[in-house]
Amino acid sequence: MSELTLHTEGDTHVVVTRFFAAPPEAVFRAHIEPELIQRWCLGPDGWSMPVCINEARPGGSIRYEWSDSNGAGFSLTGEMIAVEPFTRLEHVERMHLPDPTPDNHVVTHFEPHGSGTKLVMRMTLPNAEVRARMLATGMDQGMEMSYARMEQLLSGCE
């Protein structure tokens, strides 16, 4: 079951909605505690995150560094803008490839939904064309990988 939905807003926003079976407290913690972030925020299979700094307070620094077994690596830096426990996170982030990418402004809402959580993440892209390209290229690949991983998870369940 794919619970993720995605829609655009205005010229530059992408809004992603995803439901989780755990309460907002757990989903929120998984977004700010480095030792938890390091376990899921890994992107493609085969990557790990040896460095994870996430200072969960307004003005706090964010720094993630990923690497793969071949010694390749890239990083993400950012600043936390708002941390409202279990309900809302706001931050900016940019990747270093190694050129810095345009700043991505992200607001994440965590809402109770039955016994679970509705997560709504609103990203702001630099312009409409960048957004169109992301939806055309990035999302396709992300979706495909997500489905593949979901199948793995489901096949691992008794």
Partner 1 sequence: MKNTESLSALSPTPTRSHAHSSLDARFAALADPTRRALLTQLTRGEATVMELAAPFSISQPAISRHLKVLEAAGLIERRVDGARRPCRLSLDGLRAMNEWLAMLGQAMVCNYGRLDSLLVELTTPQSPPPDPDHE
Binding site for partner 1 (CB under 8 A): 4, 6, 14, 16, 18, 20-23, 26-27, 29-30, 33, 35-36, 39-44, 85, 95, 97, 99-102, 104, 121, 123, 126-130, 133-134, 137-143, 145-146, 149-150, 152-153
Which residue(s) pair with 49 in the sheet? none
Least Cβ distance, residue 126 to partner 1 (angstroms): 5
Q: How far apart are CA 95 and CA 84, in angstroms?
A: 24
* Residue among 61 and 132 whose Cβ is closer to partner 1: 132
* Residue among 107 and 139 whose Cβ is closer to partner 1: 139
Burial class (CB in 10 A: 0-12, 13-18, 19+), 136: exposed
Determine the residue type at 32.
I
Three-state DSSP class for residue 65: strand
* Residue among 61 and 147 whose Cβ is closer to partner 1: 147
